[in-house]
């Protein structure tokens, strides 16, 4: 194919992959910055122009709404420039694709087409309600007393989440029950498994009552549809499938692809990089990518279009220390630059000193003419970024957080606590928060219930019995939260959610929505900025996970440290053993030496997986930088 004639400039590596025969499985191992999205667009064009496949018979799957939108935009633009005007481009996230399958054929698995999809906070609330119901009518227990039940229920929710990520069902936990022996530790395992199964059943009942599904259900139920008769219609619709970021797929998504395309994965084009697999904590199974490399026709993209070779040398060295991964050979043909030192490492005695130096260095860069939009600060989490943000603000440096959590905003939490207080007049958490914000200082010594300002108490009373939308509108207006642009935007987002709740939970009252707001804070729900590529005229501040797919002239890798893997969970899922690994039994003692051997085995496997992922996360962070990388941290960590 004459790529230049159709407006594409491809390397030899890209060309070989783009022109691979459409029959069978093709796997592209694409290193960071090697033109992966450009290749996916070229492959799509090749299938349409050279192989005569209709655009709407090609399914593209990826992992974020933005990536799917960018894929659609590029493909549509390329085809239109060649005189082809497709009716639609089928590019979506895995979850959006599964939702569309269920909207069309969900009745085959007992789901009506108008089901609602629960978000993180709604899931947390349903689990909380299920825990309360179980506390009222606990199952028969062998050795555990009721006082231990609530703590066990909190751990059981994590057990359910992990089991579902692995593709396990309730019947699998029941099978573990049958393996339990008659000794003391087996009795504890039996109680934990019974409690977990009861909680799981109650949670499923709560979803059915609301005609709702969670994100795990989208995958699980769509897989059932595709494996049945209804799946034949979906399979006939597509002649080719392209999967981007395959290293981030979990076991269910890998099985879903097999259900859609057959076990041989015929006519599947997979692009990914196992060295950039950074989502194991949400179930991603990068070993699936390694397995595909053995099964399909394999192509490599190693020519990097983004970073200086000095930065690439560091990226290669970091990831090649993990001998379980294919060797990274990122390189480019660019000559060395004579400008600033490409890699700088600075360590500090305190977090304040680190934040002060980074903020001043960024201010100096901008003073010398560096475009603020081309500077980014990346961190593993947002926990310590507030120090840096405070100092940037004092220096007058414009910045924007590309991942935000509106449920950390004080005014949003004000609304949540006021709505809860309307129903629970003596709710201590709400009274403490609102007293600190608007009333008496809280004196923990005198033991009294703190008292918020009287106007807050009257406002809370007014919200009682109202629907969420009316109550949020009332609180936002009375509290003066509609005059400031940023606070007003947060209130608008709350009102959107409140309106959704009216559709999802008819008859729900304001206090329940208040509990939802507080639950969203507990689960750390974040909302990405719609367009990370938009020019803000400001330094970008974001987590490394949110920076995936982005690039900047100058990257500051902030608060770099070794994250300890703590042994604090009381029990863990043990699929290779008896189902549940218990850390310590009552009276067994404390300390690492007292920890049960099966728990130590599961924990050690998890620790090794996490350490490998931390290395991959650092590789991703380093490869975001085009010209300069500045790594900072503290000496003691």
Question: Residue 84's domain is classified under what CATH number?
Answer: 3.40.50.300
Instruction: Give CA–CA dist 288/551, Å, rounded.
Output: 27
Scored b (16 or more CB within 10 A) or e, 434-456 reads bbeebbeebeeeeeeebebeeeb
Helices (H), 321-442: 351-367, 385-394, 410-423, 428-438
- Has residue 107 got a pLDDT over 70? yes
Position 442 scores a pLDDT of 46
pLDDT digit string, tens, across residues 31-44? 999 999 999 999 99
**H or E stretch including 630?**
strand 625-634
- The residue among 400 and 395 whose pLDDT is bigger is 395
Structure token pair of residue 154: 């909190």
Determine the average pLDDT of the residues in 41-70: 92
pLDDT digit string, tens, across residues 122-178? 998 899 899 999 999 888 888 988 788 888 988 899 999 999 998 899 999 999 998
Note whether residue 175 is domain-resident: yes
Q: How many domains does the chain have?
A: 4
- Has residue 629 got a pLDDT over 50? yes
Q: Residue 12 CB: number of other CB atoms within 10 A?
A: 8
On average, the pLDDT of the chain sits at 90
Same domain, 396 and 411: no
Note whether residue 112 is domain-resident: no
Position 444 scores a pLDDT of 45
Same domain, 200 and 229: no
Give residue 239's pLDDT band: very low, low, confident or very high (50, 70, 90). Answer: very high
Of the three residues 269, 303, 337, the one that is the final residue of a domain is 303
Beta bridge partners of 582: 571
pLDDT digit string, tens, across residues 404-420? 678 888 899 999 999 99
CB 424 within 8 A of CB 430: yes
Longest Cα–Cα distance in the chain: 82
pLDDT digit string, tens, across residues 433-487? 998 888 654 444 455 556 788 899 999 999 999 999 999 999 999 999 998 887 8
CB 257 within 8 A of CB 227: no
Least Cα distance to 245 among 32, 522, 12 occurs for: 32
CB 243 within 8 A of CB 200: no
Instruction: Give CA–CA dist 148/336, Å, rounded.
Output: 63
Q: Lowest-pLDDT range, 7-16, 316-325, 451-460?
A: 451-460
Q: Lowest-pLDDT range, 1-5, 392-396, 401-405?
A: 401-405
CB 239 within 8 A of CB 57: yes
Q: Lowest-pLDDT range, 360-369, 470-479, 534-543?
A: 534-543
Instruction: Give CA–CA dist 568/554, Å, rounded.
Output: 38
Phi, psi of 155 (to 5 degrees): -70, -30
Of the three residues 210, 239, 266, the one that is the final residue of a domain is 210
Same domain, 9 and 84: yes
> Tokens 């029959």 appear where?
23
> Tokens 């409690």 appear where?
195
Same domain, 29 and 9: yes
Phi, psi of 255 (to 5 degrees): -70, -35
Same domain, 287 and 334: no
Position 634 scores a pLDDT of 92
Same domain, 12 and 44: yes
Find the domain containing 139 and state its range: 119-210
% of the chain residues with pLDDT over 90: 63
Same domain, 95 and 223: yes
CB 374 within 8 A of CB 345: no
Position 403 scores a pLDDT of 65
CA pseudo-torsion sign 502, 508, 509, 514: negative
Note whether residue 598 is domain-resident: yes
Beta bridge partners of 401: 541
Position 565 scores a pLDDT of 63
Angle at 143 between CA 142 and CA 148, to 5 degrees: 120
Position 206 scores a pLDDT of 93
% of the chain residues with pLDDT over 70: 94
Beta bridge partners of 272: 29
CB 247 within 8 A of CB 273: yes
Note whether residue 83 is domain-resident: yes
CB 539 within 8 A of CB 365: no
Position 530 scores a pLDDT of 47
Give residue 367's pLDDT band: very low, low, confident or very high (50, 70, 90). Answer: very high
**Helices first, then strands: H and E counts in the chain:** 23, 18
Region of 465 (left: φ > 0; alpha: ψ -120 to 50; beta: rest) is left
Note whether residue 529 is domain-resident: no
Position 29 scores a pLDDT of 96
Same domain, 470 and 419: yes
Q: How many residues does the chain have?
A: 637
Least Cα distance to 256 among 407, 423, 95 occurs for: 95
Structure token pair of residue 23: 């029959």
**What distance, in Å, lies between the first and last C-alpha atoms of the chain?**
54
Of the three residues 493, 523, 553, the one that is the final residue of a domain is 523
Determine the average pLDDT of the residues in 547-556: 94
Tell me the residue ranges of DSSP E strands in 113-217. 116-117, 212-213
Position 31 scores a pLDDT of 96
Instruction: Give CA–CA dist 542/426, Å, rounded.
Output: 39
Same domain, 517 and 541: no
Same domain, 188 and 225: no
Note whether residue 528 is domain-resident: no
Instruction: Give CA–CA dist 243/91, Å, rounded.
Output: 10
Give residue 392's pLDDT band: very low, low, confident or very high (50, 70, 90). Answer: very high
Position 30 scores a pLDDT of 96
> Tokens 């609102």 appear where?
434
Determine the average pLDDT of the residues in 507-532: 81
* HSE-up (13 A, CA, CB side) for residue 330: 31
Same domain, 320 and 299: no
CB 605 within 8 A of CB 599: no
Instruction: Give CA–CA dist 559/355, Å, rounded.
Output: 9
Give residue 593's pLDDT band: very low, low, confident or very high (50, 70, 90). Answer: low
- The residue among 530 and 570 whose pLDDT is bigger is 570
Residue 364, burial from CB neighbour count under 10 angstroms (0-12, 13-18, 19+):
exposed
Position 6 scores a pLDDT of 85
Give residue 357's pLDDT band: very low, low, confident or very high (50, 70, 90). Answer: very high
- Has residue 526 got a pLDDT over 70? no
Same domain, 345 and 257: no
Structure token pair of residue 285: 């199974």
Note whether residue 266 is domain-resident: yes
Note whether residue 138 is domain-resident: yes
């Amino acid at each position: 194919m004459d790529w230049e004639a159709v407006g594409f400039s491809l390397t030899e590596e890209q060309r070989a992959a783009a022109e691979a025969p459409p029959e069978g499985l093709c796997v592209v191992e694409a290193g960071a910055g090697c033109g992966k999205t450009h290749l996916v667009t070229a492959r799509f064009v090749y299938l349409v122009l050279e192989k005569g496949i209709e655009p709407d018979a090609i399914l593209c799957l990826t992992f974020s709404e933005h990536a799917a939108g960018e894929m659609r935009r590029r493909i549509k633009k390329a085809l239109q420039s060649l005189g082809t005007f497709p009716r639609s481009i089928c590019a979506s996230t895995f979850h959006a694709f599964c939702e569309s399958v269920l909207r069309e054929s969900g009745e085959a698995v007992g789901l009506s087409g108008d089901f609602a999809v629960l978000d993180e906070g709604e899931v947390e609330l349903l689990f909380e309600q299920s825990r309360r119901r179980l506390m009222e009518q606990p199952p028969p227990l062998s050795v555990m007393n009721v006082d231990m039940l609530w703590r066990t229920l909190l751990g059981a929710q994590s057990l359910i989440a992990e089991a579902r990520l692995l593709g396990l069902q309730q019947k699998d936990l029941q099978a573990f029950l049958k393996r339990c022996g008659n000794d003391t530790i087996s009795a504890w395992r039996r109680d934990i498994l019974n409690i977990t199964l009861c909680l799981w059943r109650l949670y499923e009942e709560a979803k059915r009552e609301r005609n709702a599904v969670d994100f795990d259900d989208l995958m699980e139920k769509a897989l059932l549809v595709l494996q049945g008769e209804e799946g034949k219609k979906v399979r006939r619709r597509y002649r080719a499938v392209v999967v981007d970021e395959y290293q981030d797929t979990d076991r269910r998504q890998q099985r879903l692809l097999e259900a859609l395309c057959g076990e041989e994965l015929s006519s599947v084009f997979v692009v990914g990089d196992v060295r950039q697999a950074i989502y194991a904590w949400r179930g991603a199974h990068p070993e699936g990518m390694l397995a595909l490399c053995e099964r399909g026709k394999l192509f490599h993209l190693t020519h990097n279009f983004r970073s200086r070779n000095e930065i690439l040398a560091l990226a290669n060295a970091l990831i090649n220390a993990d001998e379980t991964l294919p060797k990274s050979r990122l390189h480019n043909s660019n000559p060395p630059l004579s400008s600033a030192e490409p890699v700088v490492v600075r360590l500090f005695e305190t977090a304040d000193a680190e934040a002060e130096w980074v903020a001043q260095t960024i201010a100096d860069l901008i003073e010398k003419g560096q475009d603020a939009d081309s500077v980014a600060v990346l961190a593993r989490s947002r926990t310590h970024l507030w120090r840096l943000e405070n100092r940037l603000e004092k220096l007058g440096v414009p910045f924007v957080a590309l991942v935000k959590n509106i449920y950390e905003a004080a005014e949003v939490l004000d609304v949540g606590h006021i709505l809860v207080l309307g129903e629970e007049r003596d709710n201590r958490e709400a009274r403490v928060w609102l007293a600190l914000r608007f009333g008496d200082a809280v004196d923990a010594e005198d033991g009294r219930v703190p008292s918020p300002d009287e106007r807050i108490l009257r406002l809370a009373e007014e919200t009682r019995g109202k629907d969420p939308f009316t109550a949020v509108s009332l609180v936002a207006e009375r509290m003066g939260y509609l005059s400031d642009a940023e606070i007003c935007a947060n209130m608008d987002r709350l009102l959107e959610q409140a309106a959704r709740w009216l559709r999802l939970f008819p008859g729900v009252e304001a206090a329940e929505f208040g509990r939802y707001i507080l639950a969203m804070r507990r689960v750390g729900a974040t909302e990405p900025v719609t367009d990370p590529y938009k020019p803000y005229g400001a330094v970008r501040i974001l987590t490394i996970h949110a920076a995936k797919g982005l690039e900047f002239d100058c990257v500051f890798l902030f608060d770099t440290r070794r994250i300890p893997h703590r042994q604090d969970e009381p029990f863990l899922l043990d699929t290779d053993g008896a189902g549940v690994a218990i850390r310590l039994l009552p009276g067994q003692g404390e300390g690492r030496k007292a920890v049960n051997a099966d728990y130590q085995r599961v924990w050690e496997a998890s620790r090794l997986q996490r350490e490998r992922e931390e290395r991959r996360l650092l590789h991703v962070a380093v490869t975001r930088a085009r010209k300069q990388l500045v790594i900072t941290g503290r000496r003691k960590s």
